[in-house]
Structure 1
Amino acid sequence: MSRPSREIVLDPDNVLGYLRERGVLRADEPARAERMSGGVSNEVLTVSGESVDVVVKQALERLRVQEEWLADPSRILAEADALVLVGELTPDDIPPVIDVDRENLILTIARAPRDWKNWKTELLAGRASEAVAVRLGEALARWHSATAGRPELSSRFDQDHFRELRISPYYLWSAGCNPEVSAAIGELADSLLAPGRCLVHGDFSPKNVLTDGDAAWVLDWEVAHYGHPVFDVAFLSSHLLLKSIHRPERATAYHRCAEAFLGSYRHALSPTLHLDDRELALHTACLLLARVDGKSPVEYLGPEGQDRVRSLAIDTLTRSDSAIETLWENSAQQYGY
């Protein structure tokens, strides 16, 4: 894939001038720019003024993780295109696109209301909103259903970024760390790279959800591709399971959240698509393993929690009767509740 050259690299000192040149910010309008922290894959800046309140993103070629992890920064264009597409389907569930700079690989989107919370932060604090989970399940099912059976989208949203950002650093890296399940993980990875079925977000994680407890925006579509819908469902399921292992005293709340998400997703999903329960459990297990042995381990689990996740995932990948509820039941049995 050819990579567009970029003439500028944004920072808080030059972003205001950049937005004025793009016509997003008035020439005479004072504004404030700040760098957002916490992301590993993008340079993210916020700019606020009298007429603007936006987030400006520029994708990094080398991600901010311990292991070397390189990815094509043109993925920002896939994110922009995905936001435009799903914005036509559910405009209330994503941030509006303000500007796309295809030459410099920069995306400008609206900023969420200041009182909205990051759902990952809320979950880690033990506040597991079933209402948010239901909304996410419904939105995801609508995106999957509305884009199913549209093979023309496969060239617009190819799987290159998905290979770079998910298959290699998640599935294949963790397979190399766990040879007893490497063959099983390899087969599951191959299944995700088969001809696509619908538009897949690719990073459907609580950290990419901003919410006021009812409304919600889903962010960070840079791994969007035409692929297998089970990946998005497994991705969120794995995160809720990880939270339950991190905070076992709130495991029941996380489990109910997961059930609400899956129930609303299944209810809203088109009959042309099918969510296979065993397949969901196996991919959830792969993603659990990836978050302790992959290139981007979760930061909130200590050695004991990592061992529990690893044991749970490997057990699931070697069972013949794997199911998503079995995953939750086995996790609960580890803690005796």
Structure 2
Amino acid sequence: MILLNTSTAAPYLCNRTGVNVSQWAIKSLGGGVSNEVLLAEAPGKRWVLKQARPRLRVQEEWLADPARIRREAAALRLFASVLPPGAAPAVVFEDPENYIFAMEAAPADFTDWKSLLLRGVCEPAHAREAARLFRAMVSWRGDGAEFADQHCFDQLRLDPYYRFTASRHRDLSSAFEEAIACCRQGKALVHGDFSPKNLLVASNRIILIDCEVIHWGDPSFDAAFLLNHLLLKMAHGLAGCRALALLFWKEIRDLVDERATLLHLGCLHLARVDGKSPAEYLTGEEREHVRRKARQMIVSPPKTMEEAFQ
């Protein structure tokens, strides 16, 4: 299998497209912990190459089936008809044998929403656009059979976030078991990683990316996933994220079960300090604050989302 990196990508693309190696400019985009992601530019082309890796780059052992890359490409093709025009990148080609696909890159002026939030940029328009994409996914009434299998979601979300965290907080295991059971209820299309880092923004436009754990399940997980990131930013001292969270919630609350969303929110909040993928920007003091708040939310759940964000 070819392993993509900044050295091998240009020869790989030359063989695939016929465009000379010297014409390709390759730049690493990081890709989080689960993939190799590269920006590849040549005359008339601006692509992102993505290759799924079987072992994730975290301290704890975390393995996942690289075949998830095929599901992501299928999801992007579906998004072309489900989301508003231009809200998801177009697939350029697939190389399933090497767990690679290429997609059109976002224009250079787009920035991930997470980076903006961490710089203190809290624009209500971004929360509204995120809610619009969420509503489009949840409202889709097509055949979800292609995404019914939750195998990748289990490997990349339920196991490292819920089961692993529950193993460190055994007194809360029943809550995590209930949250997992909620995810098994097939109600709608669920992105599974609906977070600010996967929402690229420019002005009032948003592009949704990174849908490798998309599945047919409970949309309250996606709602809580985004809300949890805003709650974490509040713990990091970014008070403006509270208004964004409540605005997002107001726009989508009719689509999800509030109790289930609050359950996921507490579990996800704890998972981002004691799971396999802790939030990297939190200080030690902030992590302890999040741990206390999360445990309180699970043991004595807030009655409303507004209460959770007090």
TM-score, normalised by the number of residues in structure 2: 0.94
CA distance in 1, matches of 2:147, 2:116: 34
Query: Within 5 Å, which residues of 2 pair with 1:1-337?
Result: 7-23=1-17, 26-27=19-20, 30-37=23-30, 39-90=32-83, 91-147=85-141, 150=142, 152-194=143-185, 196-247=186-237, 250-251=238-239, 253-266=240-253, 274-319=255-300, 321-329=302-310
Distance 1:49 1:297, change over 3 A: same
Distance 1:97 1:134, change over 3 A: same
Q: Which amino acid aligns with 1:303?
A: G
CA distance in 1, matches of 2:63, 2:151: 12
Of residues 66-75 and 105-114 in structure 1, the stretch that sits farther from structure 2 once superposed is 105-114
Contact 1:312 1:327 in 2 (8 A): no
* Cα RMSD, aligned residues only: 1.7
Of residues 176-185 and 132-141 in structure 1, the stretch that sits farther from structure 2 once superposed is 176-185
CA distance in 2, matches of 1:113, 1:18: 23
Structure 1 position 29, deviation (Å): 7.2
CA distance in 1, matches of 2:81, 2:22: 31
Identity over aligned pairs, percent: 39
Q: Deviations over 1:170-205 (max 9, x none)?
A: 0111111112211111111122123x1111100001
Structure 1 position 321, deviation (Å): 4.8
Structure 1 position 238, deviation (Å): 0.1
Contact 2:262 2:302 in 1 (8 A): no
Structure 1 position 131, deviation (Å): 0.2
TM-score, normalised by the number of residues in structure 1: 0.87
Runs of 5+ in structure 1 lacking a partner?
1-6, 330-337
Q: Deviations over 1:224-270 (max 9, x none)?
A: 111110111000000000000101xx31x21111122122224xx6x
Runs of 5+ in structure 2 lacking a partner?
none
**Tell me, what secondary structure is at the counterpart of 2:48?**
strand
Contact 2:11 2:21 in 1 (8 A): no
Structure 1 position 155, deviation (Å): 4.2
**Tell me, what secondary structure is at the counterpart of 1:82?**
helix
CA distance in 2, matches of 1:28, 1:310: 50
Q: Which amino acid aligns with 1:52?
A: K
Q: Which amino acid aligns with 2:52?
A: A
Contact 2:31 2:37 in 1 (8 A): no
